[in-house]
Structure 1
Amino acid sequence: MFPPPPSPPPLWRRGPDRHTLLLVLHHATVDGHALEPLLADLRFAYRARAVGGAPRWPAPAVQYADHALWLRRRLGNEDRPESPAARQAAYWKGALAALPPWRGLPDATGAPGAGPGAAGTVRFALDQREHRRLAAAARACSAGTGMVVQAAFAAALGDLGAGHDLPIGVPLAGRDDEVLDGVVGCLVNTVVLRVDTSGAPTARTLVGRVRERLLAAHAHQDLPFDRVVELVNPARQAGRQPLFGVAVSHLVRAEPADGGRWADAVAVAERPVPVARTAVDLLLQLVERRTADGAPGGLECALVHALDGCDEPTARRVVAAFRRRVTEFCDELNDELNDELNDEVDGGLNDEPADELNDLAQVHDHNHEVRVR
């Protein structure tokens, strides 16, 4: 299926003490969540070689093949009505019935001369302060930060005329068991998050709608995306995703257990290759950085856009609308959270030291952490 990879990976000498290593990874074999264990393996091997030794790998607890076989057994035969596969198929046929096609933004213009599938990227960031506010807003409605982001993105697209019944592609990690965190492989499966933005909902209401839909999708995530497409059987367009025109990917990256150290006096920086092709009109990519103790470290964001239907000025309007909605959601939900905390303090928690109140809020956050990304 795939040509053999270069062995070893290309290494370019850029100067006396500067080198570039190119890793080419097919998405069928590695997903975004697998990058950290892969890089950890590379760091482990480099440290061993740097002192003249060879890496001694511990036996993996679980391999990708183990997971694939387990998932197939878990789904069972779709022909049997009582099987998980049959139940999940029925769910998706119902959830995506009469799904509206993505028709793009009304005022969007394509870049002159852009061919089908050609992509551009607008990069931006949410700093640590904004990240903390986003995390607090998520706590206020018992949701994950990704859910607030997805709700804000849907609201922003609605503001720009995309309609009120929005199908959004969301890749789920497929790593609900911690034993899978170290597996290098593609465990991710894409689901369709159908967001209803009608009725001018408040931030809490819209996040609640997203939370309900996403948790239901998470409970039915094992059915392969290709099978869901077959069941829904939408109109097809070459080179485009058949069920959605916009997507949101949300990757959480905590500070590595080894501190990201390669070897003494060696500094390594990741340089992702820019996205050149896309199968959706708009893809919002977010990498949520967390410190070793789980504190917010900021979000690295990118809006990948199909140039034939969305030029850079249009993409920047989308980013501005998204940022505006994030700010509005954080303001509204954090005000509600402050009111709730003030009520609790007035009701008898005022004897608690400030540090203990902060601990209570942190525990509340962890209790509602959802591994849906």
Structure 2
Amino acid sequence: MHLPVHMVPSVVVVLGALPLTANGKLDRKALPEPEFGGGRQYVAPADPVEGIIAGVFAEVLGVEQVSVTDGFFELGGNSLLATRVVARINDELDSDVDIRALFEAQSVRGLAERTEQATSAGKRLPLVRREHDGPVPIAPAQRRMWEMNQSDTESAQWIIPLALRLEGELDPIAMGLALRDVIERHEPLRTVYPNTSDGPVQDVIPMSEVDVELGRAVVADHEDVMELVTDFCSRGFDVTTDLPVRAVLFEIGPKDHMLAVAMHHVSADGSSAAPLARDVMLAYHARLQGEKPAWSPLPVRYRDYAVWEHELLGTMADETSLMFSEAEFWRSALADLPAPPELPEDYPRPEFPSMRGDGFIFEVSRDLHGRIHELAHHQGVTPFMVLQAALSLVLARWANSEEFTTTTPAAGRPDRDLGDLVGMFVKHLPMRVKVDSQQTFAALVQDVQSYAVAAFAHVALPLDWITDVVRTTTPEAGQPISRIGFSFQNLDSAEIQLSGLKISGNSVDLGTTHVDLNFIVAERHDDAGKKDGMVVRVIYAVDLFKASTVEKLIKRYVQLLESVVVDPDLVVGDIELD
């Protein structure tokens, strides 16, 4: 019998007898800790394909050395990074492997075998720079952002805030020039989105006409700088006429500043924060030397991507198009999807929601963090899938429903040349989980894996397009697919030393939400890279819920996780929750 790499045990421990619980089930806590003999064994690539894939894993995950027996998710990969890995592998090897292969193979060697069977020379539509004669259509992912902005241009609901603490000697003039350098480099930051007879378009403003400057303000002793940052970032945009970015530098002291940047979601997503912050700092370093930044030109621009994506998708009228096949997948995956179950809210749902949100945070222990990863490893799944299964079970139980659907983000950057761009790429996928009260939690996790692997292989359509496909001709027409969001993130926030400055990121809460509940589970790691606990943060609609209700819900979620990591063979209908 041959096992896939991820199912081959790293070490075998011989026991005289298995420890059992009082119920006669395996007592996992009583099992002895295996001795790995100095850590995991490194196995070098056996051929160039394995070498390239190992290099991509190492580059994207920021690790020094990757063995061909290492799994992408075992090394800390997540569903968002998986899209980037697949794009880079396909670019390097001219292959057509999809994200399903990464989930199923997991290891370098297993993925290499699949990649060698998926050579795609000449099959993929190339993403290249183009000449554009005037404005181009907005990208599919931008449409909902544009429509929401035009429904309320004063709202902070779709603004992405970025706050960087700068400690040390700072040259504000050089920082202002660096900001303009970055706006020149990343076209979405100097793009307006007027409406036309053909719909909204991207109109890139020449840098000579861009009037964005770095504002400056001194913070008095009695003022809270984060309150000022929040107020600054909360001001709305009209993206048809306003550039979608603004920035201000708050002086807290002679050697202490806070750089606040607000971007509208139509021009950026969460993954845009890293290239933006990096390029601001590189440009600042160059300006300190009296020079312009000497970075290489971006291989493609966001406009190139938007036109390419429209061509890639094709039309619904063409049954051979990607758009048609993606729509068919979601029609099948979400067939007979009921309206979102009503959770027991504290207040009646208002006819016109305020979109105001608040947050509640709960700390998860280092021990539970590690056990979740152990369970995922034993099940041959990712930690995301374990967490998703547990959340869906808790929500279904709370809503007295036999299934629950949440939405989760996918990076939506299908080509490696998009990795360094500021732009709106992210897509949100419906995660439908059916709960059979007679099945074990382990079986539920396997169901989640089967669905998730298929879903992440179909990330071409934005959520609003999927909603139109699924809801248009059903009794639930007009209903959203879900009102609950879930994401699994890495919380590490490294400090950067540059040109006499210590730079660190700060979280900014604008007090808004676009869903009823948004669960964000974030991992932490210590300086040695070991798992150091998780943070469960829930942003909730204050129109519907009290903080005490959300706190109780989070505690049930953690209680469930604590039970199933000990015994994943528990029957879900028998799991007791306070």
Which structure carries more relative contact order (alpha carbon 8 Å, separation 6+)? Answer: 1
User: What are the superposed Cα offsets for residues 160-199 of structure 1, whole Å, 9 maximum, x if unpaired?
Assistant: 2341211111121123544433222121111211111222
Query: Which AA in structure 2 matches 1:110?
Result: Y
Q: 2:522 aligns with which of 284, 287, 293?
A: 287
Structure 1 residues 275 and 206 mapped into 2: Cα distance closer, same or farther (>3 Å)?
farther
Q: What secondary structure, in the 3-state scheme, does the structure 2 residue paired with 1:269 have?
A: strand
| Residue of structure 1 equivalent to 2:422 | 184
| Residue of structure 2 equivalent to 1:269 | 504
- The question of 1:306 aligning with 2:541 is answered yes
Q: 1:92 aligns with which of 330, 337, 352?
A: 330
Q: TM-score, normalised by structure 2?
A: 0.51
| Residue of structure 2 equivalent to 1:321 | 556
Query: Which AA in structure 2 matches 1:283?
Result: N
**How far 1:244 sits from its partner (Å)?**
0.5
Contact 1:249 1:285 survives alignment (8 Å): yes
| Residue of structure 1 equivalent to 2:565 | 330
**How far 1:264 sits from its partner (Å)?**
4.8
**How far 1:210 sits from its partner (Å)?**
1.3
**How far 1:213 sits from its partner (Å)?**
1.2
Q: 2:319 aligns with which of 78, 81, 92?
A: 81
Query: Which AA in structure 2 matches 1:284?
Result: F
Structure 1 residues 286 and 198 mapped into 2: Cα distance closer, same or farther (>3 Å)?
same
| Residue of structure 2 equivalent to 1:71 | 309
Bigger Cα displacement from structure 2, 290-299 vs 145-154: 290-299
State the superposition RMSD in angstroms: 3.1
- The question of 1:45 aligning with 2:262 is answered no
Q: 1:110 aligns with which of 341, 347, 361?
A: 347
Structure 2 Cα separation of the partners of residues 275 and 162 of structure 1: 32
Contact 1:104 1:245 survives alignment (8 Å): no
Contact 2:496 2:504 survives alignment (8 Å): no
Structure 2 Cα separation of the partners of residues 6 and 194 of structure 1: 34
Structure 1 residues 157 and 65 mapped into 2: Cα distance closer, same or farther (>3 Å)?
same
Structure 1 residues 141 and 58 mapped into 2: Cα distance closer, same or farther (>3 Å)?
same
Bigger Cα displacement from structure 2, 190-199 vs 112-121: 112-121
Bigger Cα displacement from structure 2, 119-128 vs 140-149: 119-128
User: What are the superposed Cα offsets for residues 69-98 of structure 1, whole Å, 9 maximum, x if unpaired?
Assistant: 333232222212222211111121222222
**How far 1:101 sits from its partner (Å)?**
1.8
Q: What secondary structure, in the 3-state scheme, does the structure 1 residue paired with 2:340 have?
A: coil
**Structure 2 gaps, min length 5:** 1-192, 194-238, 571-578
Query: Which AA in structure 1 matches 2:271?
Result: H
Q: 2:468 aligns with which of 224, 230, 239?
A: 230
| Residue of structure 1 equivalent to 2:274 | 36
**How far 1:326 sits from its partner (Å)?**
2.2
**Structure 1 gaps, min length 5:** 336-373
| Residue of structure 1 equivalent to 2:376 | 138
| Residue of structure 2 equivalent to 1:123 | 361
Structure 1 residues 293 and 144 mapped into 2: Cα distance closer, same or farther (>3 Å)?
farther
Structure 2 Cα separation of the partners of residues 218 and 152 of structure 1: 19
Q: What secondary structure, in the 3-state scheme, does the structure 1 residue paired with 2:506 have?
A: coil
| Residue of structure 2 equivalent to 1:155 | 393
Structure 1 residues 279 and 209 mapped into 2: Cα distance closer, same or farther (>3 Å)?
same
Structure 1 Cα separation of the partners of residues 285 and 466 of structure 2: 45
Query: Which AA in structure 1 matches 2:261?
Result: L
- The question of 1:278 aligning with 2:516 is answered no
Query: Which AA in structure 2 matches 1:272?
Result: S
Structure 1 residues 201 and 34 mapped into 2: Cα distance closer, same or farther (>3 Å)?
farther
Q: What secondary structure, in the 3-state scheme, does the structure 2 residue paired with 1:207 have?
A: helix
Structure 1 residues 111 and 211 mapped into 2: Cα distance closer, same or farther (>3 Å)?
same
User: What are the superposed Cα offsets for residues 247-298 of structure 1, whole Å, 9 maximum, x if unpaired?
Assistant: 102334667xxx6424254233322221422222111023345679975454
Structure 2 Cα separation of the partners of residues 34 and 150 of structure 1: 25
Q: What secondary structure, in the 3-state scheme, does the structure 2 residue paired with 1:10 have?
A: strand
Percent identity, aligned pairs only, is: 26
Bigger Cα displacement from structure 2, 31-40 vs 97-106: 97-106
Contact 2:392 2:405 survives alignment (8 Å): no
**How far 1:135 sits from its partner (Å)?**
2.2
Structure 1 residues 176 and 326 mapped into 2: Cα distance closer, same or farther (>3 Å)?
farther
Structure 1 residues 229 and 111 mapped into 2: Cα distance closer, same or farther (>3 Å)?
closer
Structure 1 residues 16 and 39 mapped into 2: Cα distance closer, same or farther (>3 Å)?
same
Across the two proteins, how many residue pairs are aligned to each other? 327
Q: What secondary structure, in the 3-state scheme, does the structure 1 residue paired with 2:551 have?
A: helix
Structure 2 Cα separation of the partners of residues 112 and 219 of structure 1: 35
Structure 1 residues 8 and 222 mapped into 2: Cα distance closer, same or farther (>3 Å)?
closer
Structure 2 Cα separation of the partners of residues 67 and 127 of structure 1: 42
Contact 1:254 1:292 survives alignment (8 Å): no
* Higher radius of gyration, 1 or 2: 2
Contact 2:269 2:423 survives alignment (8 Å): yes
